[in-house]
């Protein structure tokens, strides 16, 4: 049951990011919410809020809800399968076959119900999802997510080449027409869910289709999500398909789909070099780092330190089913782990816990606007976590408790979950 966003106070051990390096932690502090917005965190409750109902979670950890910048809803059904394959073989063996099943709306309903249940009980409060090429199933997914109360961007996938006939759209014109019909269907329909244009990636999208989507973006003013420089075989393929581009990201830029006035997420960026990183920075593109998927599909280790140090907006993605786990806490832990391997082989400084937590909260949340923080004026997404079973036989600071939650927690530790000031769990 989703509650109204009335004013209330949460009391507990509060922790949130101010920037990639700095946490603000307040023991037994007060988090005030009115009209779905945070009014700030206080060590002592201001008199003007004393009449609001107070929910006392003393001793519990309270952190912002997490943001998943990149996942595939139809792939949830086969998580954990094909993890001995590389990306392109994995797509052919598992992904495309599974996504074809979503032409059957009854199958889609059963499969998407499992996705939504998992997302609702987990720590993520905002999610960017790929659906499939199928309009009815995509609309069904959006309806189900709207009912859940989570804040989501959902994309009807576009692809008109280099994919099996049962999920390849007839041509660019038909793909664009279906996408227009979908955008018109979404207009004014949802409070919590919105559309995001979703060309799967350059190998499955003709230049004509990318230009058609660029025109729709400008007309409907919707964001864009896709994949970039994930796998060496993929990059080689893109260079053959688009020989006039200097590197992968230029293909999207040449078609008007890379940042600027287009809010854009590019997932992975594992093999982004200096020129591509600079292009992402200059265009204000968000990089979605998906560490577990990059391990599982033998793609590599993304240069996250270089992305952050060069001013690229960077968040985290679960990338199910390349990744096996939906929780962005798991993505934080994996991001820290793989950054240490990157340090061994490339010399890039590893990520800190503070940086990983920032990427999964305020860093990724900012794609949705003012989200991912408890500072005044931000939409109030919050998790109340009972980490008592993770206790040590010695005192732990709030920062240390957060580190243990990131590395050890699972869904059973989440007591309450708020999205835009509404209790959804």
Task: Return the pLDDT at 144.
Answer: 98
User: What proportion of the chain, given as a percentage, has pLDDT over 90?
Assistant: 96
Q: Span 199-212, mean pLDDT?
A: 98
Q: What is the pLDDT of residue 28?
A: 98
Evaluate whether 310 touches 298 at the Cβ level (below 8 Å). Answer: no
Q: How confident is the model at residue 5 (pLDDT cuts 50, 70, 90)?
A: low
Instruction: Please give the CATH topology (third level) of the domain spanning 8-64+373-423.
Output: Urease, subunit C; domain 1 (2.30.40)
pLDDT at position 229:
98
pTM score = 0.97
pLDDT digits (tens, 9 = 90+) for 230-240: 999 999 999 99
Q: Both ends of the chain: CA-CA distance in Å?
A: 8
Indicate the domain borders of the chain: 8-64+373-423, 66-368
CA dihedral for 322, 327, 331, 336, sign (positive or negative) = negative
Tell me how far apart the alpha carbons of residues 230 and 297 are, in angstroms, rounded to a whole number: 10
Residue 304, helix vs strand vs coil = helix
Q: What pLDDT is recorded for position 261?
A: 80
Provide mean pLDDT across the span 196-201: 98
Is 120:424 a contact under the CB 8 Å cutoff?
Answer: yes
| Rounded Cα distance, 304 and 257, in Å | 22
Say what the pLDDT of residue 4 is: 53
pLDDT in tens, 232-284: 999 999 999 999 999 999 999 999 999 878 799 999 999 999 999 999 999 99
Q: What is the mean pLDDT of the chain?
A: 96
Inter-residue contact 38 to 63 (CB < 8 Å): no
What number is the average pLDDT over the span 337-357? 97
User: What average pLDDT does range 394-400 have in this prediction?
Assistant: 97
pLDDT at 1 over 60: no
For 391, other C-beta atoms within 10 Å of its C-beta total 11
Residue-wise pLDDT for 92-145, tens only, equals 999 999 999 999 999 999 999 999 999 999 999 999 999 999 999 999 999 999
Query: Distance of CA 6 to CAs 3, 11, 150, Å?
Result: 8, 16, 17
Specify the pLDDT at position 2: 52
Tokens 């023991």 locate to 27
Q: Is the per-residue pLDDT at 148 higher than 50?
A: yes
How far is residue 82's CA from residue 97's CA, in Å, rounded to a whole number?
13
**Cα–Cα dist 267/175, whole Å:** 22
Residues 312 and 278: their CA atoms lie apart, in Å, by: 8
What is the mean pLDDT of the segment spanning 282-293? 97
What value does the mean pLDDT take over residues 40-52? 97
pLDDT value of residue 355: 98
Q: What is the pLDDT of residues 351-361, one digit of tens each?
A: 999 999 999 99
Q: Which of helix, strand or coil describes residue 421?
A: coil
What CA–CA distance (Å, rounded) separates 244 from 237?
13
pLDDT band at 3 (very low <50, low <70, confident <90, very high): low
- Mean pLDDT within 153-179: 97
- In terms of CATH architecture, what is 66-368? Alpha-Beta Barrel (3.20)
């Amino acid at each position: 049951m989703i509650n109204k966003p009335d004013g209330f106070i949460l009391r507990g051990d509060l922790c949130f990011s101010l920037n990639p390096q700095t946490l603000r932690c307040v023991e037994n502090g007060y988090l005030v919410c009115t009209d779905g917005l945070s009014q700030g965190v206080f060590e002592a409750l201001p008199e003007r809020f004393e009449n609001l109902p107070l929910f006392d979670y003393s001793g519990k950890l309270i952190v912002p809800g997490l943001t998943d910048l990149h996942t595939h809803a139809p792939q949830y059904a086969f998580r954990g399968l094909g993890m001995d394959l590389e990306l392109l073989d994995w797509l052919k063996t598992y992904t495309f076959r599974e996504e074809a099943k979503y032409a059957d709306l009854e199958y889609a309903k059963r499969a998407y119900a499992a996705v939504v249940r998992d997302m609702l009980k987990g720590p993520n409060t905002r999610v960017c999802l790929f659906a499939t090429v199928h309009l009815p199933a995509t609309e069904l997914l959006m309806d189900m997510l709207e009912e859940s109360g989570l804040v989501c961007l959902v994309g009807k996938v576009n692809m008109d080449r280099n994919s099996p006939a049962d999920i390849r759209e007839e041509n660019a014109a038909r793909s664009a027409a279906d996408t227009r019909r979908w955008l018109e269907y979404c207009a004014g329909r949802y409070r919590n869910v919105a559309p995001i244009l979703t060309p799967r990636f350059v190998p499955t999208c003709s230049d004509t289709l990318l230009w058609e989507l660029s025109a729709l973006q400008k007309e409907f003013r919707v964001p864009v999500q896709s994949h970039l420089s994930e796998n060496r075989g993929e990059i080689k393929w893109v260079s053959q398909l688009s020989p006039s581009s200097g590197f992968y990201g230029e293909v999207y830029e040449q078609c008007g789909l890379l940042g600027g006035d287009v809010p854009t997420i590019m997932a992975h960026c594992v093999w982004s070099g200096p020129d591509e990183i600079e292009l992402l920075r200059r265009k204000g593109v968000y990089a979605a780092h998906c560490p577990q998927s990059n391990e599982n599909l033998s793609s590599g280790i993304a240069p996250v330190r270089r992305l952050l140090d060069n001013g690229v907006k960077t968040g985290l993605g679960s990338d199910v089913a390349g990744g096996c786990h939906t929780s962005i806490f798991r993505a934080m832990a994996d991001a820290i782990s793989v950054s240490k391997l990157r340090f061994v082989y490339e010399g890039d400084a590893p990520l800190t816990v503070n940086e990983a937590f920032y990427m999964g909260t305020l860093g990724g949340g900012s794609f949705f606007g003012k989200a991912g923080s408890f500072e005044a004026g931000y939409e109030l997404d919050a998790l109340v976590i009972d980490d008592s079973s993770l206790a040590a036989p010695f005192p732990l600071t709030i920062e240390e408790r957060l580190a243990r939650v990131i590395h050890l927690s699972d869904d059973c530790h989440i007591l309450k979950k708020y999205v835009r000031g509404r209790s959804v769990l």
